Amino acid sequence: MQDFLREYARNFLNSRLMDERRSLPPALISEFAEAGLLGLQIPRRYGGQELSHADMKRVFTQLGAIDANLAVFCAVHNTLGIPPIRFSATDAVKDEVLPRLAGGQALVTSAISEPGIGSHVRGMATTASRNADGSFTINGAKKWISLGGDARYVNVFAKLRDERGRPQGITGFLVDSRTPGFEIGPEMLTLGLRAVPQYDLGFRNLRVPRSALLGQEGAGLDIAKTAFTSGRVVLAAMTLGAAMRSLELAQRFTNGREIATGSMAENGRIRELLAESGAGVQAAETLLARIAAWQDAGEDVPDAWFFCAKILGCELGWSAIDNALQVLGARGFLDTNTVGQHFRDYRLFRIFEGSTEAITVYLGSVFARKPDEFADLLGPVRPTAPILDLVDQVARISADRPEDPGARHIHAALVGELVCWTLLTVVTGETAHRSAMDAYTASWTEHQLRQRLRNAQLTSHRSLPTLAEFTDHVAGYADVIGDVDQRRWPAEEWRTDPLLR
Ligand SMILES: Cc1cc2nc3c(=O)[nH]c(=O)nc-3n(C[C@H](O)[C@H](O)[C@H](O)COP(=O)(O)OP(=O)(O)OC[C@H]3O[C@@H](n4cnc5c(N)ncnc54)[C@H](O)[C@@H]3O)c2cc1C
């Protein structure tokens, strides 16, 4: 698969054109299906590749290095779309649907986000009601659904009510997009990832049979979790692939570039910038490899590791891309150079499938409530005594939970960040002996954790301006910048003229 992708990138792909046209090449689906890329972890009996987690990570790092559009296209289908069916659909549905998905005859996505909710999944407004004949009727609206207008199947999550209107919990349904009542709304025009379309979707009295149920009634959040768990690692793997590609280009540039101090590659500040970016990428890579190895050994990996992979993989990868862009100087700012496109495309990864803030605060609030459970998180990893001392310090900061709700959010964010850096320090400590770069990465990671610990001790109880004070402050901007809302929206020109409808 890696060979196929490398050859595809060299000889058939034009990322720049794809970005400009906002569309994927027409032959892509059939070629990717033939190469096995549309059934990466589907069992072989359904025509899939049954890849291990470690191999899945390698494929997505490769895809990410080539183009975020290809990578996200494959991720939506393979990690958001397929797992809920693989783990929770009935055998008859699996027999019918999985071979079509693996063969590229149909695509699948998941629809969770709505106009009124994003990170706060429990607040969704889409409803499903159980009918007397056992079928369900779905009503509501979803937003930002990648491939939503193209996928034949959509995993729709809705709040279920029984025949008497009593709430039964969030439930997942596999919806065939050809069902009457399935409405495809406008496509969103995004800053990056422009070749993967995102749509609004609507469900108007959409009726699905009982066999469309994904798992048990009311178990929708657990089903969605199967999608997010693998999705989080995969998003991190893609970002790190792009970061490696960006750093490769930056390093090449510095080798041939002269600056005031002589060779740019020899300049201490530039070497530091690149080495730190490389350390961040290597640390996150080590974390992903550790998680994949555990998963492949059949171990139960605690959720916190997946959150940590998503947060740090996407943050450190994106920061490396940003640094590579800076090192490239004016060339970095050109839209036609790969790094600029990565900069736009991978910015999204800090937002979707759990934004950095939402999941850091969540992670921190879990450990702030149960600081004693923090050490258990390390599982089979055996840290050295100095690192165990850092683990203790993090647990102590977690336990120091403020009373004020606003201060609690800040405390939870600090704790969540500390938990992530602790796990990273622990795994990079394990591999420090492998090479000089591994040793540098381990000491850099530990230094980052120590700095954050110091920062947490200094700032956890700092007071903020009140909401009213800050609102007043922002209202004052109008005196400086005036009313500059543009009344001519570009989309108006793209709507069909009413007289031509
Ligand atoms: C290109 C693209 C593709 C997407 N594809 C899909 C898809 O296929 N299926 C799907 O269901 N969804 C999809 N989404 C939606 C995506 O998952 C959501 O945008 C994401 O969950 C964030 O939700 P939101 O935009 O509503 O932000 P909100 O949840 O409203 O968050 C707004 C801000 O508040 C912060 N925030 C949120 N919660 C907290 C908290 N507890 N503490 C502190 N800060 C917080 C966030 O970090 C963010 O800065 C896609 C989005 C985009 C842009």
The answer for 482, left when phi > 0, alpha when psi is -120 to 50, beta otherwise, is left
Intrachain domains 108-218 and 223-459 with the same fold: no
Could you read off the pLDDT of 108-164 as tens digits, one per residue? 999 999 999 988 999 999 999 999 999 999 999 999 999 999 999 999 999 999 888
Could you read off the pLDDT of 300-312 as tens digits, one per residue? 899 999 999 999 9
The Å distance, Cα 222 to ligand 1 centre, comes to 19
Counting ligand 1 atoms within 8 A of each CB, the residue from 351, 410, 415 with the most, and so the one to mutate, is 351
Q: Is 15 helix (H, G, I), strand (E, B) or coil?
A: helix
62/237 Cα distance (integer angstroms): 9
In the predicted structure, residue 384 carries a pLDDT above the cut 90: no
Residue nearest to atom 24 of ligand 1 (CA): 118
Could you read off the pLDDT of 395-417 as tens digits, one per residue? 889 888 888 888 899 999 999 99
Residue-range domain boundaries for the chain: 2-102, 108-218, 223-459
Q: Is 214 helix (H, G, I), strand (E, B) or coil?
A: strand
Mean pLDDT of 310-316: 98
Q: Which two tokens stand for residue 470?
A: 């800050």
Backbone phi and psi for residue 200, each to the nearest 5 degrees, phi listed first: -80, 145
Q: What would the CATH number be for the domain defined by 2-102? A: 1.10.540.10
Q: Is 152 helix (H, G, I), strand (E, B) or coil?
A: coil
Residue nearest to atom 7 of ligand 1 (CA): 145
Q: Please compute, for residue 71, the number of CA atoms within 13 A of its CA located in the half-sphere on the CB side.
A: 32
Ligand 1 nearest-atom number relative to CA 119: 29
CATH homologous superfamily of 223-459 equals Butyryl-CoA Dehydrogenase, subunit A, domain 3 (1.20.140.10)
245/248 Cα distance (integer angstroms): 5
The mean predicted confidence, pLDDT, of the chain is 93
Mean pLDDT of 452-475: 85
Task: Please state, in angstroms and as integers, the Cα–Cα distance from residue 485 to each residue in 475, 476, 488, following that order.
Answer: 15, 16, 9
Ligand 1 nearest-atom number relative to CA 112: 11
Confidence tier at 371 by pLDDT (50, 70, 90): confident
* The dihedral formed by the CA atoms of 397, 398, 399 and 405, expressed in degrees to the nearest 10: 110
Counting ligand 1 atoms within 8 A of each CB, the residue from 82, 177, 223, 352 with the most, and so the one to mutate, is 352
The owner of tokens 């992708």 is 5
Confidence tier at 314 by pLDDT (50, 70, 90): very high
144/152 Cα distance (integer angstroms): 17
Ligand 1 nearest-atom number relative to CA 76: 8
The DSSP call for residue 40 is: T
Confidence tier at 489 by pLDDT (50, 70, 90): low
Confidence tier at 485 by pLDDT (50, 70, 90): confident
The Å distance, Cα 348 to ligand 1 centre, comes to 10
297/9 Cα distance (integer angstroms): 33
Backbone phi and psi for residue 267, each to the nearest 5 degrees, phi listed first: -65, 130
What is the residue type of 131? N
How many Å from the N-terminal Cα to the C-terminal Cα in the chain? 46
CATH architecture of 108-218: Beta Barrel (2.40)
CA 131 distance to own-chain centroid: 36
246/323 Cα distance (integer angstroms): 9
